[in-house]
Amino acid sequence: MPRIQLDYSLYLVTGREFLPPGKDYYESLEESLQGGVTLVQVREKDADTGEFIEVARRTKQICDKYNVPVLINDRIDVHLAVGTAGIHIGQTDCPLPLARTLIGPDAIIGLSVRNTDECKRAIEQGADYIGIGSVWPTGSKDIKGRKCLGPDGTGEILDLLDGTGIQAVAIGGIHLPNLPQLLHGSISPKTSNALDGVAVISDIVASHQPRKASEALREIIDSFKRARKGLEGHKGLFGSTSSVSGGLSREYLVEKVQGLMRVLEQETPLINQLTNKVVMNDSANVTLAVGASPIMSTNPRDVYDLSPAIGACLINFGTVDDKEGMKVAGRQANVNRKPLVFDPVAVGATSYRRETAEELLAHWQPTIIKGNAAEIGAMAESTEVASRGVDAAGAGFKDPGAIVRALAKKRAAIIVLTGPEDYISDGHTVLKVSNGSHFLEKITGSGCQAGTLIACFAAASRSYYLNENEPFEDDSQLVQGDMLIAALAGILIYTIASEVAADRPDVKGPGTFRSALIDELYNLTPEVVQQRARVEIL
């Protein structure tokens, strides 16, 4: 007989030591069940056996009222004594095959998994579900010396589970603000497998209002799951991008870009740009030139307050200032489901930059990552193109399309590789743009300005989607709107305007080109884009 199916959506792992002062454990538990917890694990690290059994027995009594199953952490004897649905064991606890013999065929066994090798063993040994962790740093368990997996490490493990029927939850450092990033960013790159739920201690247990905390987590998980259900059979990463993958043609793409140009002019979205000092003024000017409105706020409190009002956020860490502001801005962009463009300037040039990029990416999920060959090479951990500071490293890769496609899958983001030709991918489709003037290499910050324009068009694409659809009708993505088209629009508008500027008789060199570029961005019409766009679908 198959074992009972559990709902892993919101898995509460108990921890009496984390309760707020004065809060009763059983009261907190009951409130969290009312808020939508679907499964409970009793985890008692300091109780002796008698006390553990008593806590588990009363926990089960309360959970029974809500039809929520209970599992026991580590202790087979406590499970047997109380008659719970099963156990959760770690890598150094009772081996899984022995546990199965002891508890019988019907009980659930969950196993902690920290890497792909442990996952392969969990599959061989027949775990019912795995707990993947730690996703992020946590104060609830000593994980010293272990590398946190992040959403992408979680996704690599999820890949192995596809087709096995084994369920998966993630655990460790999961809180309301990073939950959307985790759910969306961990969709496995190869198979599109996704988490079945999340396990949390402190976000619920340490809350004064565990019911509200659980309700808020459940809402995000449920909407993610609803959207996944709607997408069953769809193997692409980005649901709405699939709208183009059918009859994809140059004409279709250009028409969409022209549409976004009109949206930008009509809506004037506010684009918050945490960017570097060298390019700040030019970035603000190109934003205005295409019809959006720039704001260059970096203070953590200010970016937090601004986030609901902006159309998109750009994080360009060129001079690596304002790291705290970047963390808050990116996370709030995720929370408010605003497009987030990441420009990891010279990321491969120093270990500090590499570590900072990883630290930021552990805090939020970018919608679009833009870089030159050296930067994209560093992000993809490719040694094919060595980083040489902020300047682009020539033509770059032998097969740029393969690099952007693979990195898009790995990071669950649109990737834009700039250079003599630009390549854009959502992990599925690869677009190549062959526009642009040689003068772009002669002015400072041309890559940064391209990033700014991508953010402007990402805001336009989101607005367009929300104007045309019920809010979150397609809830499969963290950000609504076609972000592949947005990235294409940013690149096309910038490179075509650069060609028009370079052709002007009054442009004599980089200085006059720089001013002319702003003018031509301002004057660019959809008709000129139609005439000049050199876009190929690879």
Ligand X SMILES: Cc1ncc(COP(=O)(O)OP(=O)(O)O)c(N)n1
Active-site positions?
448
Is residue 71 at the binding interface for ligand 3NM, with CB under 6 A as the rule? Answer: no
User: Do residues 89 and 99 touch, judged by C-beta distance below 8 A?
Assistant: yes
Is residue 172 at the binding interface for ligand 3NM, with CB under 6 A as the rule? Answer: yes
Is residue 179 at the binding interface for ligand 3NM, with CB under 6 A as the rule? Answer: no
Kindly give the residue spans of alpha helices, DSSP state H, lying in 198-322.
Answer: 202-205, 210-230, 242-245, 250-267, 280-289, 300-306
d(CA 33, CA 40): 9
d(CA 158, CA 155): 5
Distances (CA, A) of 96 to 111, 118, 143, 347, 371: 8, 12, 22, 43, 46
169 contact, one of ligand X, ligand 3NM, none, CB 5-8 Å limit per kind: ligand X
526 in helix, strand or coil? Answer: helix
d(CA 97, CA 337): 44
Is residue 199 at the binding interface for ligand X, with CB under 6 A as the rule? Answer: yes
As measured in angstroms, the least distance from the Cβ of 224 to ligand X is: 18
Closer residue to ligand 3NM in complex, CB, 81/143 = 143
314 contact, one of ligand 3NM, ligand X, none, CB 5-8 Å limit per kind: none
Is residue 284 at the binding interface for ligand 3NM, with CB under 6 A as the rule? Answer: no
Which structure tokens are listed for 396? 């770059």
Is residue 204 at the binding interface for ligand X, with CB under 6 A as the rule? Answer: no
Cβ–Cβ contacts within 10 Å for residue 383, how many? 9
Chain position carrying tokens 């028009």: 500
CB neighbours of 266 closer than 8 A, spacing ≥ 6?
none
Please give the residues from 40 up to 59 whose contact with ligand X meets the rule CB under 6 A.
41, 43
As measured in angstroms, the least distance from the Cβ of 201 to ligand 3NM is: 4
Please give the residues from 94 up to 123 whose contact with ligand X meets the rule CB under 6 A.
110, 112
Is residue 259 at the binding interface for ligand X, with CB under 6 A as the rule? Answer: no
Closer residue to ligand 3NM in complex, CB, 32/273 = 32
As measured in angstroms, the least distance from the Cβ of 265 to ligand X is: 50
As measured in angstroms, the least distance from the Cβ of 166 to ligand 3NM is: 16
As measured in angstroms, the least distance from the Cβ of 169 to ligand X is: 5
Burial class (CB in 10 A: 0-12, 13-18, 19+), 54: middle
Closer residue to ligand X in complex, CB, 89/424 = 89
d(CA 164, CA 151): 21
Chain position carrying tokens 């065929």: 105
Could you say which of 7, 30, 93, 358 contacts ligand X (CB under 6 A)?
93
Closest to 431 (Cα-Cα) out of 396, 397, 400? 400
Question: What residues make contact with ligand X under the rule CB under 6 A?
Answer: 11, 13, 41, 43, 73-74, 88-90, 93, 110, 112, 131, 133, 141, 169, 171, 199
Question: What residues make contact with ligand 3NM under the rule CB under 6 A?
Answer: 13, 112, 131, 133-134, 138, 140-141, 143, 171-174, 200-203
